Amino acid sequence: MLVCFINLDMTIIPPYLKLGDTIGIVCPAGYMPFEKAQTCIETLTDWGFKVVPGETLGHQFHYFSGTDEERCRDLQRMMDDRNIDAILCGRGGYGMGRIIDKLDFTKFKKHPKWIVGFSDITVLHSHLFSNFKIASMHAPMAAAFNDGEYKNQYIQSLRDALLGKRADYKTEGNILDQPGNAKGILVGGNLSLLVNVIGTPSDIKTKNKILFIEEIGEYIYSVDRMMYQLKRSGKLENLKALIIGRFSDMKDTTVPFGQTVEEAIKDLVRDYVYPICFGFPVSHDKENYALKVGVNYELKVKKDFVELKEK
Amino acid sequence: MNRKDFLSTVVPVAVVATSFTKKNPFGKFDTLKKIPSYLKKGDLIGICCPSGHITMEECEAAINKMKEWGFEIRVGNTVGVTDFTFAGSDAERAKDMQQMLDNPEVKAIMLGRGGYGAVRMIDKIDFSKFVKNPKWIIGFSDATVFHCHINDHFGIATVHSKMCNSFPDDFSTATQTQIDSIDSIRQCLVGEKIKYERLPIVENRYGEGIGELVGGNLSIIQMLDGSVSDLDTEGKILFIEDVGEYAYKIDGMLWNLKRGRKLDRLKGLIIGAFSIKPDDPGEEFGKTIYDMVMEKVQEYHYPVCFNFPVGHVKENYALKCGMRHRLSVKKEGTVLECIE
């Protein structure tokens, strides 16, 4: 039953799914109407999985998909239930940080399973890896399946990742890229959340890692400020590589900042010699490949293309 | 910043950090003069802009008022300089601040305005002369970077208060609280007794605490987490304020404080003005600042006071960061008093 991998770096890789396995859907953060998860449920079913919606999917308490107790209980049950083989978060928003210290990981540590999500779920990804060395999946959530998008390569990458197919993503280069090759454990997620957990028990160590970041809807100066926090807290200096995802819907102040987000980041990492790529398809837009936090990857940043390959 | 600049700036900071941050077992910086000299008539106040830009014209009200108080003014090279949102490049802003810090004639430095930028230049600053001859640094918002950094490294007192851009242009039409807020800066600088009394608020938690006062803008405090400027709140009275953030963002930052153990060992908590951005339709957060704060601190027993007049509002009284205060929150009202 228990087929956990322990790789050389001692990351615990939860068992990959087989056809017929069961995926639970929970909403540990913001509210999501049930119908918005309908296409996702149908698609997962078409892929050959069983789907169990949790009590928080479609449930609402103000902004949230339930009270802290309800959200915590739903996620806890899904983590502990041996009949659930993986957990897909319906959506992000805000709320994981409110319940994370209430979760009990005792059973989950013995029987880890893939937890899938991004954005606010970054808190859980970081927490699982930094505390228990358990890998988790940064990937599209339920709403990304809508409007016919369930067929796109990014949603397909989630299926491949769940089934244990090793990723090999190729994407075009960017003029700001810093070429080079690197191998290392991949960590990262949403920039706001990565800085929000600094100094907390969910804080993630980035030394010798490949770090990826993405962001949505922030002011450029605010992204610059968060990048300075990463830099000043020592999280950028000893990386193996840096993957800059998409920074969607960036806002500027009345007096312009004077740089794009990418230019500001480039300035900030100028002293580092490791490979850096910009505009990698990890984001709040549809371009969002499944990435396994805690797993070894090889990144090649070449003149005209970028390849991220799971080892 | 090129590599050469980087190296030349890292060295002095590292030296300063190792030679001046050694605390004795009581957490005091006993080898250092902790309270800058209070100002006398004729003393010189420098104005400089480590963050956003400000015009000379916008500084005039502050300059006139401080001259009226009997001080001389030196305007730094960054006043009137515009580099997009900044008052000059990082190097220019660092240079101006450095000159103000190192010039022994300058007895206090008032920042032009907040905005954004202090964190981009602070690691270029060499504080060694400032530590030998401390002077008052005055400002709030983005200036929280300086308050936290200086408290953390050197234990030297600073003034959290309005800056040049928040002096009313016309004092004859200013409200009494505005006038009082501005005058409280003078009181801090000349060493008058600082004691603020507030009417009771039902959401307050009663109690009394004595400790060093620290704090500032919540976004900035979170942004310094994990860095060399990270604020240590143990045994202290913490004040926080913020402006223009969504409720969920404020909640997230309060969780960051709690999970980062910045709330569990306080002697008191002062919640200043929180001008929260209205929720987007359909995204109603459903929690007030009272709810958000109290749910984080319910298991602790120190006093908590809300609506304290500090923050991005007209009523923003000067607070001496790094100095011992008594916070008394009672049903008759709240008193915050500097006791050293």
What pLDDT digit, counting tens, does each position of B135-179 carry? 999 999 999 999 999 999 999 999 999 999 999 999 999 999 999
CA distances from B182 to B35, B51, B306 (A): 21, 21, 21
Nearest to B85 among A63, A232, A255 (CB): A255
> How many cross-chain Cβ pairs, A to B, lie less than 8 Å apart?
99
CB–CB of A253 and B85 under 8 A?
A: yes
Tell me the nearest-neighbour CA distance from B224 into chain A, angstroms.
6
Pick among A61, A226, A233 to test the B interface (most B CBs inside 10 A): A233
pLDDT of residue B27: 41
Q: Is A203 part of the contact surface with chain B (CB cutoff 8 Å)?
A: yes
State percent of chain A over pLDDT 70.
97
Q: What is the pLDDT of residues A11-63, one digit of tens each?
A: 999 999 999 999 999 999 999 999 999 999 999 999 999 999 999 999 999 99
CB–CB of A195 and B225 under 8 A?
A: yes
pLDDT in tens, chain B (340 residues): 343 343 334 444 444 443 344 343 334 444 456 999 999 999 999 999 999 999 999 999 999 999 999 999 999 999 999 999 999 999 999 999 999 999 999 999 999 999 999 999 999 999 999 999 999 999 999 999 999 999 999 999 999 999 999 999 999 999 999 999 999 999 999 999 999 999 999 999 999 999 999 999 999 999 999 999 999 999 999 999 999 999 999 999 999 999 999 999 999 999 999 999 999 988 899 999 999 999 999 999 999 999 999 999 999 999 999 999 999 999 999 999 999 9
Q: Is A63 part of the contact surface with chain B (CB cutoff 8 Å)?
A: yes
Chain A residues whose CB is inside 8 A of the B248 CB are 63, 93-94
Smallest CA–CA distance from A272 into chain B, residue: B3
pLDDT of residue B283: 87
**Got the DSSP string for chain A?**
----EE-TT--EEPPPP-TT-EEEEE-SSB---GGGGHHHHHHHHHTT-EEEE-TTTT--BTTBSS-HHHHHHHHHHHHH-TT--EEEES--SS-HHHHGGG---HHHHHS--EEEE-GGGHHHHHHHHHHH-B-EEE---GGGGTTTGGGSHHHHHHHHHHTTPPPEEEEE--TT-B-EEEEEEEEEEEHHHHHHTTTSTT----TTEEEEEEEES-BHHHHHHHHHHHHHTTSSTT-SEEEEEEEET-B--SS--SS-HHHHHHHHTTT--S-EEES-S-SSSS----EEETSEEEEEE-SSEEEEEE-
CB–CB of A228 and B228 under 8 A?
A: no
| Average pLDDT value for residue range A98-109 | 98
CB–CB of B116 and A197 under 8 A?
A: no
Q: What is the dihedral of CA A86, A90, A93, A98, to 10 degrees?
A: -50
Mean pLDDT of chain A: 96
pLDDT of residue B4: 38
Q: pTM for this structure?
A: 0.92
pLDDT of residue A212: 98
CB–CB of A271 and B3 under 8 A?
A: yes
Chain A residues whose CB is inside 8 A of the B85 CB are 221, 253, 255-258
Tell me the nearest-neighbour CA distance from A28 into chain B, angstroms.
15
Query: Measured between alpha carbons, how far is A20 from B234 in angstroms, rounded to an integer?
Result: 53
Nearest to B227 among A221, A229, A271 (CB): A229
CB–CB of A232 and B287 under 8 A?
A: no
Six-digit token string for B319: 């607070």
Catalytic residues of A: 119, 214, 284
Six-digit token string for B65: 């008022």
Chain B residues whose CB is inside 8 A of the A226 CB are 223
Smallest CA–CA distance from B258 into chain A, residue: A200
Nearest to A196 among B1, B256, B287 (CB): B256
Chain A residues whose CB is inside 8 A of the B222 CB are 195-196
CB–CB of B85 and A221 under 8 A?
A: yes
Higher pLDDT, A65 or A7: A65
Six-digit token string for B321: 């960061």
pLDDT of residue B282: 85
Chain A residues whose CB is inside 8 A of the B9 CB are none
Q: Is B89 part of the contact surface with chain A (CB cutoff 8 Å)?
A: no
The interface residues of chain A toward chain B in range 119-158, judged by CB-CB distance below 8 A, are none
Q: Is A264 part of the contact surface with chain B (CB cutoff 8 Å)?
A: no
Q: Kindly state the DSSP code that residue B299 receives in the 8-state scheme.
A: T
Q: What is the pLDDT of residues A191-230, one digit of tens each?
A: 999 999 999 999 999 999 999 999 999 999 999 999 999 9
Tell me the nearest-neighbour CA distance from B189 into chain A, angstroms.
31
CB–CB of B260 and A233 under 8 A?
A: no
Q: Is B248 part of the contact surface with chain A (CB cutoff 8 Å)?
A: yes
